[in-house]
Structure 1
Amino acid sequence: MSIRSGLFKLLGLCLLAGVLVAGILFPVTGAAGVVANQASDTVDSMSTDLAEEPPPLITTLTDRDGKPIATLYDQYRIPTAPDEISEAMKWAMISVEDRRFYDHHGVDWKGTLRAAITNTSGGDTQGASTLTQQYVKNYLINVTHRGDTLGQQKAQEVSIARKLKEAQIAIQLETKMTKEEILTGYLNVVEFSRQIYGVGAAARAYFNTEASKLTVPQAALLAGMVNNPAVLDPWNNPEGAKKRRNFVLDKMVENRKLDPEDAERIKEEPLGVLPGGPNKPASTCISAKPAYGFFCQYVEDYLIDLGMDKDDLYTGGYTIRTTMDSKATEVAKDAVEKEVSKTEPNVANTLSLVKPGKDRHEVVALVANKDYGTDKEAGQASQGLPYDVFNVTGAGSSYKIFTAAATLEQRKYGIFDTVPVPNFHVSPVFNWGGEHCPTRPSGIRTYCVKNASDGGDTSMSLQDALAKSPNTTFVILEEEVGMKAVVEMASKLGLRKTMASRPADGNVPDPDHERPEYSMNQIEFYGPNELAPQGRGMFTLGASPVSGLEMANVAATIMSGGVWCPPTPILEVINRGGKEFPVKDKPCEQVVPEGLANTLAVGLSKDTAPGGTAYNAASSAGWDRPMLGKTGTTQFQGSATFVGATPQLAGAAMIFRPDLPHGGLVDGGPGNVHATSYGNSNMFGGKTPARTWFRAMKPIMEGLPKKPLPEPDPHYAKVR
């Protein structure tokens, strides 16, 4: 740089000083006055920000008992008060960044002129920014313009205009805050790399200690890092970090805050940071404890669906007490993994548990054999397997619950009335059946369905039909009540997102019996060993995408006397000020008469009795509690479900192929389940799903009273 250009820069700095003094001490007019007044407006705005827009904090999720289960944050920060920061930390920072901090009033004119002269003479470049100015700049970068790349660039641009604005704010800030407040504010807002901000978080992350206990060598390392946090990261660049730490020690000696002998001794010491990287909590649900990851993500999704801004969730410093039962979740996680290995490719085994109630349906556990994460090879999945609409092949005959409910609602049959059970049925209503179905004169193929096995009863009670699950019976019932009534019943009882996520052309069929696009594209069985790849099953056979959590909530609705409530994961949300943040759940609804729900619960009570599809699983588990239950299996056994509930807890266990849905599943017993090709599968809802459900529910329910099911309502018991 030439002497001439250096003189021009020095002249500019002198003019800067004059403008700043004029803008503070005297009324001014003209261009300089406009700049000063604009800067004054900015400092007033920033002062307001300091009071009303505190730095981002971490949000903590806890279980229902207040035990932390996950953290969400953009910046890891632990706020610290002035008396919670060691003197060593304060003097290390002052010594290296602003040794005349206690002498100036926001701008160090002596340092500014020295820097200008040094820069013009070819020496080391020096910024000459005071800690107050750095506080302003870091606050603008890390708080005001966080996430705003253009704003952050403007807060760091090399220009007289930016320096003028920064200096003006710094000078006025010193009239509003004490030196201790400014120093503490700076130490709370400054970055230390790896999403670590503020000395409180840095002390914990780097040394597993508190800011008040930081020693001289620890403080020197942290103070040196703020110059360039990414480059001076002690794990990535230990030599550079050590060199910078030792430079800080020398500055502390120059500032008479450290004896030379102590400095030389400390220089020989290792950095002392924790081995392997920083000690800090996970910043997203992906890194939460394996059993808790899916529940954490459901909380996030749920709050955002209710209108909370995601950025606010990650920066607001909330404490969110969830409905999660840690013990139940651990037991459920163990159950799903014992049945299906987490590393088994393309097999998801999930369990969703919901607490029934007439004023709330609290989600108790959401688990899968997979851990929540992005590493498939390690047995992780990032989709919301236990709660999202992700089982694309469906819940199978579990959907017969909705057909039975619609039948009771219209009083076509009572739960104890006799219903037809033909072995083979050609539908006079629905079209597009299997390859053995006759063709109508119009050329449209009929819909036909056959039960899983030949022979057997030709009639039985509706209650027994729910337990034994003959396909023909429920297709006939769906014809009588109409598919629209069955679909609407599914939505009322709990499949809200499931119904909303159906394809655009997935409409309920019109009365003219056109092809039912939203009827399912598969049936459970066409015959004992004969599958119908071209068969088009009805809604009642349940081969559409479905949410396991919503199926669990269906059972909770029935067990709550027909009261639907949203499956909520939230007990309370407390903001950083200790006040409750309102969470407005959707209101509960009485979706079917209580008598109907109670009668349906009784109708579903024989699935675990001899002859029921879940009997073997229940018997093997030693289950002896009253409950409702329903199994379901889709065509080719590509997915299967067991839905069940006691008066205290409802749940849905579901197994499916999350990646390549086409194909089947083989159940070779607990721990020996895998995906397979068409025609080689043997999965049923009474196998892996039912075993998972009882394996978890038996210990979870241990110690709770054996409550009976409600009494059936005569209005829905027998109508014929």
Structure 2
Amino acid sequence: MNKSLSKEDIKRYSLRIWKIVIGGIALFAIFISLIGVGVFGELPSFRDIEHPKSNQASEIIADDGRTLGTYFVQNRSNVAYKDISKNVINGLIATEDTRFKEHSGIDFKRTFSIILYNLVGKKQGASTITQQLAKNLFPRENNLNFFTLVLTKFKEWIVAVKLERNYTKEEIITMYLNTVDFGNQAYGIKSAARVYFNTSPDKLNLTEAATLVGMQKGITMYSPTRHPERSKARRNTVLSMMVKSDFITQQEFEKQKEKPLDLHFNAATVNDGIAPYFRSVLKNDIKTIFQEQSITKPDGTPYDLDRDGLKIYTTINYEMQVYAEEAQKEYMKILQQQFINSWKGRNPFKDKTLQIEQGIKRSDRYKSLKLEGKSEEDIRKDFNTPTELTIFTWKGNIDTTMKPIDSVRYYKMLLRNAMMTMDPTNGHVKAWVGGINYEHFKYDQVKMGTRQVGSTAKPFTYAVAIENGYSPCFTVPNVPVTIDGYGTPWTPKSSGTLQGTLTLQKALAYSQNYITAYVMKQVGPVAVSALATKMGIPNVPAYPSIALGSFDASVYNMVGAYGAFANKGYYTQPIYLLRIEDKNGVVLYSKKAIPKPVMSEEVAYVMTRMLKGVITNGTGSRLNYKYKINAPIGGKTGTTQNNSDGWFMAITPQLVTGIWTGCEDRAFHFISTREGEGANTALPIFAGFIKRVYANPALKISHADFEAPKTPKTITFDCNEYQQQEDGTKTELDEKLGF
């Protein structure tokens, strides 16, 4: 029989237990203190907590503040508390941390409750939102053993307490939502809202917010793109928890739970989204600017566009960019079919062995095989062996089995296209379409590529003539002209020649080569080359053939040049990058356009009238009769030798647009000029674009005409008036001579 414990024994045992408890608490406090001072590994400093290292995406921003795209390793963009929907905040608190506003970083009451749950086999997480933030800001290492895992957990506690002491609850929940991974390359609530619902975080409705919050239990398991039914069930769980926390009513829950997910998914990749060619060119430009101007971080290290969260403000108009891409896709499908049909019954690869060989050697496949050390014989065998390939078509990517050499031939016959639109009054680029598909064809054809410009160069020659006193009504016999003195005598060929004597106005409208050559003979190639250079087109040689566009130029430079006609004689180099800010809003770089006079306002105005004549009664007239666009638009079509390049340049008082179409290799082209001319290959894309622009009143692109100069007129452009003047001059002369 056990002897009863005396009061002294009870007192002694109690004292011993208290010593153990107090000693344990003291040891735990010492242990925590040692962790706090870094004995078991360095803890983040307050500076680290204030400025955590994270891979924050840099944003490319359109002229209305909307995001065009991002440069990223992790597609993360930060947002302020005021710009986050209350639905997200409430859903997160109800689901992850109901006592968030009451605890000080560690919810001990919840922690001990969850320990008991785990002991009986009901696994639950005990981390508060603040602890999860600490974990997100300073991620754990992989493959931790039990001791280091416990140690790391205590470190997170300390960081959580530091966060609570130094930040408000609003700041903490904002930081948390900015650091969360939502899958599909969406990091942070701002990216998630854009990727999954194509909206901003402040506009997330109840079901959208609940869907995103629900993903935090498992971004793969509850992914709305991979497991929509599971995601919807989890969303409804979040909504039910919001009922328990009195954030929404039961009636509201019943109403919302049956709604579909209603995703508007936009994958976050550098290839997808609008303006991919523009974003690629812009990225290279920014790297060059930073390097040339020695723009670095305060610590002297270079900026990383993929990680440093820069804000890049551009001139691109979001709607116009969308319209330009839509117009291209809409018409290029039709034109490509025309092109294929035009070669039916013929072999487009006849006598093109050299071009196919060049295509093989320029391909990524060839370069990859070369790096692997393959011989030319092995490479030849590879290109003639059927394999699985993904090829681009206007109906979408197609997975197929074909010989790689056949894919080279296929792409040689694929038409390419590029387009740029600019506001001539300030040089701001509004839309940029550098190619037909960035995923497959990375080369930008707006600025990086140059092609022969054909008849779109003719206005430069006519502008010099107008500057030298010629009237658009001056008449010239439309007969062959030879120009000597510049090496081999030059006599241009001409097709579609109008018989008789024509005014300069009509000669430009119908793109007559003989009369253009006549004008060049009068003004000389040096003057024309000088004007083209002043208008932003480099490397224009002073030879007579430049009158017909024998030189190469980019869409970018041609649009800039035509801008001078629309902007009263002032050339402004096209700009698309306005400023760059760091993630704290400090301006790192800014740029403003600098207009330069290149011709008188009167000459520019006369040229706009002549270019309008091309549209009202000339090679660009299908803009009126076929596409029913009757606004005051000037333009010029261009078609190069063998129909290798088709161009269309268009001007209005508010927009200047340039469009080029052709194959990658000039050896591949339309057979007939009727199908291969710029009026058929480029003009229709402009028609599709400008129709959309005019239909959107929010863009404020008016149908107003070009403004006439207020200075006294010195050039007669009314041909009836001009004829009267000519007749009058002849009469006076006759009188003087006594006739």
TM-score tier by shorter-chain length is 0.5 to 0.7
Amino acid at match of 1:638: S
What is the aligned counterpart of 1:423 among 471, 474, 480? Answer: 480
What is the aligned counterpart of 1:567 among 563, 568, 574? Answer: 574
Amino acid at match of 2:568: G
The TM-score with structure 2 as length reference comes to 0.58
Number of the residue aligned with 1:147: none
Give the drift of 1:635.
0.6
Change (3 A) 1:135 1:600: same
Amino acid at match of 2:95: A
Alignment of 1:154-553 (within 5 A): 159=148, 166-178=156-168, 181-183=171-173, 185-198=175-188, 205=196, 225-226=215-216, 228-233=218-223, 235-237=225-227, 274-275=260-261, 278-279=263-264, 283=268, 288=273, 311=305, 315=309, 322-323=316-317, 330=323, 337=330, 341=334, 344=337, 346-347=414-415, 352-357=420-425, 360-363=426-429, 373=437, 387-390=446-449, 392-406=450-464, 411=468, 423=480, 425=482, 427-430=484-487, 449-452=492-495, 456=499, 462-463=504-505, 465-471=507-513, 474=516, 485-495=527-537, 508=541, 538-553=545-560
Amino acid at match of 2:486: V
Contact 2:483 2:521 in 1 (8 A): no
The TM-score with structure 1 as length reference comes to 0.59
CA distance in 2, matches of 1:245, 1:582: 44
CA distance in 2, matches of 1:697, 1:239: 43
Q: Deviations over 1:487-537 (max 9, x none)?
A: 4432322436xx6xxxxxxx847xxxxxxxxx8xxxxxxxxxxxxxxxxx9
What is the aligned counterpart of 1:663 among 655, 665, 668? Answer: 668
CA distance in 2, matches of 1:246, 1:332: 38
CA distance in 1, matches of 2:136, 2:334: 48
Q: Secondary structure at the match of 2:45?
A: helix
Gaps of 5+ in 2: 1-24, 296-302, 340-413, 695-700, 726-739
What is the aligned counterpart of 1:132 among 130, 133, 141? Answer: 130
Give the drift of 1:397.
1.3
Amino acid at match of 1:634: T
CA distance in 2, matches of 1:248, 1:608: 61
CA distance in 2, matches of 1:692, 1:83: 40
CA distance in 2, matches of 1:69, 1:240: 31
Give the drift of 1:138.
0.8
Number of the residue aligned with 1:21: 33
CA distance in 2, matches of 1:288, 1:595: 43
Contact 1:336 1:350 in 2 (8 A): no
Number of the residue aligned with 1:522: none
Contact 1:416 1:461 in 2 (8 A): yes
CA distance in 2, matches of 1:709, 1:702: 19
Number of the residue aligned with 1:75: 76
Give the drift of 1:107.
9.6
1:45 corresponds to 2:47: yes
Give the drift of 1:634.
0.4
What is the aligned counterpart of 1:631 among 625, 630, 637? Answer: 637
Number of the residue aligned with 1:504: none
Change (3 A) 1:627 1:545: same
Number of the residue aligned with 2:300: none
Contact 1:86 1:211 in 2 (8 A): no
Q: Deviations over 1:320-351 (max 9, x none)?
A: 7855665x975995698469627647345666
1:684 corresponds to 2:677: yes
Contact 2:327 2:686 in 1 (8 A): no
CA distance in 1, matches of 2:76, 2:429: 29
Q: Secondary structure at the match of 1:400?
A: helix
Change (3 A) 1:336 1:479: farther
Q: Secondary structure at the match of 2:223?
A: coil
CA distance in 1, matches of 2:239, 2:503: 87
1:90 corresponds to 2:101: no
Amino acid at match of 2:458: K
Change (3 A) 1:233 1:422: same
RMSD in angstroms over aligned alpha carbons?
A: 6.3
Amino acid at match of 2:134: V
CA distance in 2, matches of 1:199, 1:705: 46
Report sequence identity in percent: 21
Number of the residue aligned with 1:589: 596
Q: Secondary structure at the match of 2:482?
A: strand
Q: Secondary structure at the match of 1:657?
A: strand
Change (3 A) 1:474 1:15: farther
Contact 1:43 1:169 in 2 (8 A): no
Amino acid at match of 1:93: E
Q: Secondary structure at the match of 1:193?
A: coil
| Higher normalized helix content (fraction of residues) | 2
Q: Secondary structure at the match of 1:429?
A: coil
CA distance in 2, matches of 1:448, 1:591: 29
